Amino acid sequence: MRPSSTAPAPNTDGEETFWLRRHGGYLWTTLAIAIFFGAWTDLTTPMGEALAAIIATFAQLERKMIGERIRDALAEKRAAGVKLGRPRILPDDVRERIAADREEKRTLRIIADALNDEGVPTAHGGKRWYASTVRQVLTSHS
């Protein structure tokens, strides 16, 4: 149901703003199309809904094409032998010690407490080891 016969202002908190937020905020694309058509389109009319659907379709296409290019570039880098991701900072001897302690059936809490008691620094300069930190080291250990 249309509240009035005039098109709503583009900066209202109505349906247009909701649509922009829901579809990834492709504001520039929307504005370019609105400028191309000469005015902001009332999205409560059938023509406005069609325009919104077209904009959303092309925004989704653009998003998928960007994802495809990124996947292809990362696959190419991996094939070339480039190590991707954040470099490891935790020394290997600490990693090996944590893995060895875990193989001896020590709990994550006991391992963390032992590292804290000995003053072993965490990878990023944290003051304290936690069971969750030890678990992260074990899951990233390869």
Give the percent of the chain with pLDDT over 90: 39
- What does the alpha-carbon distance between residue 13 and residue 74 come to, in Å, rounded to a whole number? 40
CB-based contacts of 122: which residues, under 8 Å, 6+ apart?
90, 128, 129, 133
Cβ 65 vs Cβ 98: under 8 Å: no
> At residue 122, does pLDDT exceed 70?
yes
pLDDT, residue 75, reads: 94
Cβ 15 vs Cβ 52: under 8 Å: no
Residue given tokens 């609105």 in the structure block: 34
Q: Can you give the length of the chain in residues?
A: 142
Q: Is the overall model pTM greater than 0.85, yes or no?
A: no
**CA atoms within 13 A of residue 84's CA, in its CB half-sphere:** 11
- What does the alpha-carbon distance between residue 139 and residue 126 come to, in Å, rounded to a whole number? 19
> At residue 101, does pLDDT exceed 70?
yes
CB 11: neighbour CB atoms within 10 A? 9
